[in-house]
């Protein structure tokens, strides 16, 4: 049975936009007696499989937290490997994403990334720009607080340049200034690895997002775990501040 068929066929509330904090690669590797490199590779494989599941469910948007602004504080060895893994993914997997109709986007502070990586990212975004089967957004060198600072700086510059009046600043102006401009807010945010916090991820965008936390480490996150998260989402009533319907 396909994933889509196994989800309640009479329920139209399959999330349009799913965000995922992919936590637990290093702990998975340690428990398995392997290097962190092996854990990150297994994590990349788990993401590849999840993309297939999302396409099967006709999820329109998937946003993943791949490398946070705080991750720059990790060891030089681990950061270097993660950057190498990203370049490998961009070189080896983007063509397949394109053939599957997946659009690839990146959010975050690109200024800290190597020139070669920035170039690969731009090529991937340009290649897949017209695709519409699924939009995969990769949060890289990303922090929600830092994103809002950049947005405020952009708005302040527009005011300084007499392109925007202060009294005209509203939510839409801010939304358009965020890295995620053009994306709908996440319906469901999944965090693997047992922690129950969002760790500076999509702070503005998650105001009305449903959260799902699981102890499962990211490399072990399977189609069954994904189905459990979707089923949990389908049981919830999203009220956006309104009273519960009687």
Domain boundaries, the chain: 14-141+185-234
Instruction: Respond yes or no: is residue 109 known to be catalytic.
Output: no
Q: Which two tokens stand for residue 212?
A: 């799902």
pLDDT greater at residue 13 or residue 192: 192
**Strand stretches in the chain, DSSP E:** 17-21, 61-68, 102-107, 134-142, 188-191, 210-213
Q: Which residue has the higher pLDDT, 243 or 142?
A: 142
**pLDDT-derived band at 11, boundaries 50, 70, 90:** low
Task: Let me know if 131 is a catalytic residue.
Answer: no
Considering 8, 11, 23, 170, which one is annotated as catalytic? Answer: 23
Distance of alpha carbon 94 from alpha carbon 90, whole angstroms: 5
Quickly state the pLDDT bin for 9 (edges 50, 70, 90): very low
Model confidence at 114: pLDDT above 80: yes
**Which of the residues 11, 25, 71, 109 is marked catalytic?**
71
pLDDT band at 10 (very low <50, low <70, confident <90, very high): very low
The model's pLDDT over 226-235, given as tens digits with 9 standing for 90+, comes to 999 999 999 9
pLDDT band of 13, cuts 50, 70, 90: confident
Domain spanning 14-141+185-234: CATH superfamily: Decaprenyl diphosphate synthase-like (3.40.1180.10)
């Amino acid at each position: 049975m396909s994933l889509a068929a196994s989800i309640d066929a009479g329920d139209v509330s399959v999330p349009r936009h799913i965000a995922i904090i992919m936590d637990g690669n290093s702990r998975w590797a340690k428990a398995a007696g392997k290097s962190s490199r092996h854990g990150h590779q297994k994590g990349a494989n788990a993401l590849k499989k999840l993309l297939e599941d999302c396409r099967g469910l006709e999820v329109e948007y998937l946003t993943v937290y791949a490398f946070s602004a705080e991750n720059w504080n990790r060891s030089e060895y681990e950061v270097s490997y993660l950057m190498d893994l990203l370049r490998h993914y961009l070189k080896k997997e983007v063509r397949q994403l394109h053939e599957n109709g997946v659009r690839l986007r990146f959010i975050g502070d690109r200024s800290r990334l190597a020139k070669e990586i920035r170039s690969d990212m731009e090529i991937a975004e340009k290649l897949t720009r017209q695709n519409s089967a699924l939009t995969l957004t990769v949060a890289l060198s990303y922090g929600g607080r830092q994103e809002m600072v950049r947005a405020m700086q952009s708005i302040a510059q527009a005011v300084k340049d007499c392109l925007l009046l202060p009294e005209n600043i509203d939510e839409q102006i801010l939304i358009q200034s965020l890295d995620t401009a053009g994306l709908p807010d996440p319906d469901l945010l999944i965090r693997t690895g047992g922690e129950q916090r969002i760790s500076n991820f999509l702070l503005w965008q998650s105001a009305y997002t449903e959260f799902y936390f699981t102890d499962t480490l990211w490399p072990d996150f399977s189609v069954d775990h994904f189905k459990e998260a979707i089923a949990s989402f389908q049981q919830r009533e999203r009220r956006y501040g309104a009273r519960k319907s009687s």
